[in-house]
Each structure stands twice: as structure tokens, then as C-alpha cells.
Amino acid sequence: MQYVHCPVMKNEALEYLVPKRENPIMVDCTLGEGGHSEAFLQKYPNLKVIGLDRDDEIRAKAINRLSPFGDRFEAKATWFDEFWKNYEGPQVDIILFDLGISVFHYEESKRGFSFRKSEDLDMRLNRNKGFSAADVVNTYGEKELADLIYGYGEERYSRRIAKAICEYRKTKAIRKTDELADIIYSAVPGEYRHHRIHPATKTFQAIRIEVNGELGRIEPALDNAIDALVPGGRIGVITFHSLEDRPVKWFFRNHTDRVNILTRKPVIPTEEECRTNTPSRSAKFRVAEKRGVENE
């Protein structure tokens, strides 16, 4: 089986997230294709990993990849905030969040995450529930769309884009990714079309975040996850844009009564990784250690 996603800052995760107990437990909150989990299972022979992912297809790839580790690996079909909200298991030693969307979703999922392909506008990580990207672009009002694109995409031309979407859908529903990308491309000023990133990038990000409720899951998950750590246990979060990084940074800073922050400034990828693994270029890694008897 082919795996298209290269885990971001794998070496840094291994360096910072070191278990202290003899038979540690790790929770990989964003399992994906299982790259990070595989690295930890290989390094620590007594480690057990619980991998969380709401996406059935990518979770199946991880299960196949990690099958050689037997009962040292367990996969769960759940959102990470729901898992920690209901968690009643033993205390854990390592918790890792990798908040980025996997390359799998852009290249293989066929759910409309990429504006460079002609696919149905879906973008759901759990395709069995909830509303799709097509529902967002075809039913949200113009102001609601503009606020969404600005708030979750930080897109300066959000009002132009929202207006163009609403004008277009008067004649026909928007169903395909390339169709939406063309609408956005035509809506923005000429000079904006030739920037380093495609003018549809931020709008697609905003719609994806809305569809999957991504940002609202972060702080509740961190709050409950820290409760589940053993004293001296470590939690690491990899983010890919400011909307993800900001709540993580402030959560750690506002909870220094519960954790020691180990990365005063976020760890960033090496120049070599940025060259060889381009999705890593915007990544930031923050790590904290739970306070307690063992680390006071």
C-alpha cells in the first residue's frame, strides 16, 4: 500500500515527546496514515499507541501500516475532542496533535479538498455526517460567506469572493472544486491572481474549517487531554497556520499552573525538511509537560 503523506517534524516530535515510564501509553490524536505513530512504535518497544481519526479511509490505511505492531496499536474512529471529553482510561505519557490536513486528502480522497482538481465539493473528514462544502457555498448568505472567508481564511478579498459566489449561484448551483476556484480567480484583482499562492487557497481553507468544525475542537481537547496525562507526561501540538497556532499558544500560556511550557518559541522545521517535505514549511511545534510530583 502506498502512503503519500510524510509526517511533519517527525524527528522533533521524537526528541521532545519522550516517555518516562517503563510501559508508556501514547495517544496520536490525528492518526492520518500513521507516520508519527509508526516512528514512536519503532523507537519504544514497550510503547502502546492509541490512534484517533474520524476519517474511515485514512484510518484503514494506518491500521494496515501499523498491523506489524499487533496489540501495541489500537485505532479509534472518533474526533479528538470527543475522545478526550469521554476518556475514562489510564493516564497517558505522550499526546500528539498534528492539526494539518493530510496530503492523502488532497491527493487521494476525491472529496474536493484541492482546487487544482475537478472533484465534488465535499471536504468532510467524516463523510457520513454533517454538511458539505457544497452546502456552504450554495446556502450561506453573502455576509455570512464573507465573514467566514475572512475569519477562517484571513482573505482580504472575502467580500468580493462572497459576492461573486452568490451571483454565480443565481444561475446554477456550485458543485465542483474547479468551478468554485474559477469563480474566486475571476473575483479578485488581476495582480492578486499572480501571488505565490493561488487566490482560492484561503477560501478553500475557510470552507474546510467550517465544514469540519476544526478550530472549535482545539481548546476543549487540550483541556481534557492534559487531565489525562501522568505527572511529567508531555503534550505536543503541530500547527500549520495562525488560526491553529494562536489558541494553542495562549492555552499553554494561560495554564502554566498545570503545565510547564518546554518551547518558549515554537519549534520550526529544518531547511532540509522544508525542501523535501513542502507541507512542513508553515508548521510550528509547541510542547508542554504536565506539572506534578515527578517534575516539580
Q: Which domain holds residue 81?
A: 10-104+216-295
Distances (CA, A) of 292 to 24, 171, 224, 256: 17, 62, 16, 12
The H-or-E segment that residue 58 falls in is: helix 56-66
Q: Are residues 208 and 250 in the same domain?
A: no
Specify whether 65 is located in the same domain as 129: no
List Cβ neighbours of 271 (8 Å cut-off, separation of 6 or more).
none
pLDDT, position 296: 46
Is 2 within a domain? no
Residues 15 and 74 reside in one and the same domain: yes
Q: Which three cell numbers stand for residue 257?
A: 499552573
Residue 281 inside a domain? The answer is yes
Residue 14 and residue 92 in one domain: yes
3 within some domain:
no
The pLDDT-based confidence of 1 (bands split at 50, 70, 90) is low
The residue out of 191, 212, 233 marking a domain boundary is 212
Can you tell me the distance from the alpha carbon of 172 to that of 166, in angstroms, rounded to the nearest whole number? 10
Looking at the structure, tell me whether residues 114 and 190 fall in a common domain: yes
In the block, which residue shows the cell 479511509?
Answer: 57
CA distance 226 to 291: 10
**132 and 77 within one domain:** no
Decide if 155 is inside a domain. Answer: yes
pLDDT tens-digit profile of 30-63?
Answer: 999 999 999 999 999 999 999 999 999 999 999 9
As for how many domains the chain has, the answer is: 2
CATH number of the domain at 166, please: 1.10.150.170
Residues 96 and 221 grouped into a single domain: yes
Least confident window among 98-107, 150-159, 217-226: 98-107
Q: Give this prediction's pTM.
A: 0.92
Give pLDDT, residue 2: 61
Q: Is residue 157 part of a domain?
A: yes
